[in-house]
Chains A and B, each alone.
Chain A
């Protein structure tokens, strides 16, 4: 027997206050019946002796004080899971919207999950080949990593994420990834781009989609990534699959969080975002990883659009502090017609050193990528100088560096949306570009490597 209340006291933004509630628990799921017969789920944000504070997922439009009924469901929001979730499309709270049958659940899982015991974690070390040189060669992705894409409005982050989802494999294992896709507040067009792409390549059979579109209730978005990650945890740690989770767009998620926080009159942190934004984001991102003794893994690629391309905005900033690196897209490269417009310099993969080298990729990977970084950095610096002072100001070597930087962007970074390069192709391409520079400039690779990879002589 669930208790039903009709005692709405206040309605503030997406929140309602209810009086006289007995026996409610913190975080409990509620069902709100609107005067016009519609229903919405919600959850308890705070309980007091005088009132309980609820957030209503569908928003509060149409709620009044006299005819609105609230039922407390005695549990927190749970997701029904079974192996049949693969290939299905759900809404932001995990209810099917693809006209398929309801899921007959294996079990119900609390969407908030539990933190992985740090002692139970296994360190991510398996290199994932995405087929994209700017990632594989320079900032490689590792299985169990959380590596966000920092993008801006109008940049092709969706194409990039879809390409990664399409191409990602762990070398030598032939195991492919299951994809869990969570859309938060993106447009119908963006969402259908992914759905079409997945169905064209047959990836849809291995994918689970959770879709909250721009015109869906914003408050529901707060639950969407947690719903998606609950499904991912089930697939990874109970069914033993390797799961790639794409969360797009985290910026809308954070805005929904801010809306609730503002309605609660909380003391704001930076730019009006709540002071607990870091902790809240961490409870999402930290659900990536591997667990000792279990076969599956969760690799996360959250996408966020940086307001005004500003990396110091609280959303990218706090994300960068939690995730294991970032892939940054550059508007300048995009304007220059380079796809994918990945700016390799500020991009970073923190797990790079553990994921590459002999036996994983190739023994020259670390040295070569450092050499490419150093040369590209110097080339960009020289290119700036060229703009200010003109060609006459550059030394002969500097001119070669400029040439290198240009070629690096046009040949190494740039590639087709359907082009899938093996790691060997990527690395060989890197060596090829280094031919532009004089030998004595190549200080980050060993003389043996130069002999072997540039002259085809000697041994590795």
Chain B
């Protein structure tokens, strides 16, 4: 392999000469310390390299070693429950070997080479196979069956040998005859991170991703295979919302990328996920999670790579036929990494110093999400739902990263610091947010959950919108200007906000609400509105309509656990009876 020489060093950017055959995005080893880097520009015989590790101490004339291959990730059993840095170095192993601080120039394989996995073949000798077909399975965790597939580059072949039993990831588990040649298959494979993995066909997503978060599932749902973004100023709860989704979304696999964020947040996930139980399977959440942690103080170029590392792993699990959620917190930090490297390359800047290709890179990233028919003859379906948080400077949504993101994603959860100050969590503004999946998901939920689901949701939204207008009037001329009906709307909207939209992430019961519970809660509030409105028309006093007992019943609903769901039906009965009784009193007046 070629060896070049360093001629310039500026932060994470190193320029080398003498790499004649260098390719764009080829991985190189930089300096005597053999730091990992990637070629990002070739100009006048010089190769510009972004270095994934701290460059302090590098000098001119030091060697740069070409490797001939692009930046790739290792795929195979052992990914689940791991924690990697942005370039897929396992942080737990790194700590065992190098200590509590991240050191440089260390090479550790991403997947353990000593651990053995029990490989169970699902094809037999002589079977015809093609790209994407499943050769066998490994139980990676009790939650995840890891399927070993025919690699995409093998179009058609015949199984010559297959080996059941305990194997290491780099042992040969099958031999396939392709065009009279034998190809050995191991459980581990490599894939370049910047190239999307192939599939048969993309389809439009229709099924909702259930997250257990009321404001999301009921009002602004995201589809399995969809894209969503969470922009918000600091302190508005982006990370808590991301964590909630990672915990409770009904995906089979969760890839969580901590991209340029706080170290303690990753620690929080690491400590908490093994103790939390997946509501669908009863197993620890860590058994379906892959973590990628490139915290804000780790090298900036590796931050740029981290989201590609993440989405490639996501695609690999999608190809097995799983629903995968990929969460990136935060894409703004990724964009800033892009900006920093672009600045060092002295490229012509676009808006606010971001490179002109920011929006095309972002769009290409989100486009790797989606619902697909996977390669392979069994027509299995898989999906990737991509959810990125955005951290706009000063909370200003007109800045380039938010705007470029909004052009591609279909769901917008607008977090607001004003709501967070009032301790309204999740601080998702119900008037600004939107979901373009709503029409399709409405149809789906009307069919599977309750026929009047979308009708009630729309009614609730109308009330909330009306509330905003009425509040404006109250602010100008006071409560007295409102009619009784308008006051009722304010009261019901308050209940919607406090009893439905607000959800306590740290409360053992309230942290997750099933779709059924969400529907019953919403139904009760709407029922209250309808009954109260009717009573008002009959002349019942506001005092009786706003009885503390009703407030209390509605307020208690969120704390009803899944096992005691009957209690919610009782609230319904209570409301009906209460207003039935009022009918009597009015008649007697």
Contacts and interface: CB of A to CB of B under 8 A. Distances in A.
Contact of B100 (A26, A48, A294): A294
Interface in B6-46: 7-11
Contacts of A114: 54, 101-103
Interface string A108-124: 00001111111111111
Nearest to A393: B478
Contact of B352 (A28, A270, A350, A395): A270
Given A121-B267, A123-B268, A385-B475, A46 B10 contact: yes
B262 interface: yes
Nearest to A374: B423
Given A275-B353, A321-B234, A282 B296 contact: yes
Contact of B353 (A268, A312, A348): A268
Contacts of A27: 55-57
B112 to A, nearest CB: 15
Given A287-B297, A314-B393, A119 B91 contact: yes
Nearest to A395: B479
B358 to A, nearest CB: 12
Contact of B394 (A47, A49, A124, A317): A317
Interface residues on A, range: 35 or more
Given A27-B56, A118-B83, A346-B421, A312 B396 contact: yes
Given A46-B9, A47-B9, A374-B423, A117 B336 contact: no
- Counting chain B CB atoms within 10 Å of each CB, the highest count among A279, A385, A443 belongs to A279
A24 interface: yes
A241 to B, nearest CB: 17
Interface in B416-446: 417, 420-423
B263 A279 contact: no
Contacts of A312: 233, 393-396
Contact of B60 (A24, A276, A278, A314): A24
B340 interface: yes
Contacts of A440: 548
A48 B295 contact: no
Nearest to B478: A393
A336 interface: no
- Counting chain B CB atoms within 10 Å of each CB, the highest count among A25, A46, A373, A440 belongs to A25
A341 B20 CA distance: 64
A351 B58 CA distance: 39
Contacts of A116: 100-102, 263, 297
Nearest to A366: B506
Contacts of B479: 393, 395
Contacts of A346: 235, 417, 421
A281 to B, nearest CB: 8
Interface string B234-245: 110000000000
A320 B59 contact: no
Contacts of A282: 260, 295-297
A146 to B, nearest CB: 9
B235 A325 contact: yes
A317 B393 contact: yes
Given A115-B298, A279-B336, A25 B58 contact: yes
A326 B235 contact: yes
A65 interface: no
B339 A324 contact: no
A279 B396 contact: no
Interface in A231-271: 237, 266-270
B92 interface: yes
Given A114-B103, A345-B421, A119 B295 contact: no
B563 to A, nearest CB: 21
Interface in A21-38: 22-28
A429 interface: no
Contacts of A317: 233-234, 393-394
A152 interface: no
Given A289-B263, A317-B234, A321-B234, A278 B336 contact: yes
The 5 closest A-B pairs by CB, nearest first: A312-B394, A282-B296, A27-B56, A320-B234, A114-B101
Interface of B: 7-11, 54-61, 83, 91-92, 94-95, 99-103, 233-235, 258, 260, 262-264, 266-268, 270-271, 293, 295-298, 300, 333, 336-337, 339-340, 343, 349, 352-353, 391, 393-396, 417, 420-423, 475, 477-480, 506, 548, 555
5 contacts: A119-B83, A275-B339, A278-B260, A279-B297, A443-B555
Given A124-B264, A289-B263, 11 more contacts: A23-B59, A26-B59, A47-B60, A117-B100, A123-B264, A123-B267, A269-B353, A270-B393, A276-B11, A279-B340, A286-B295
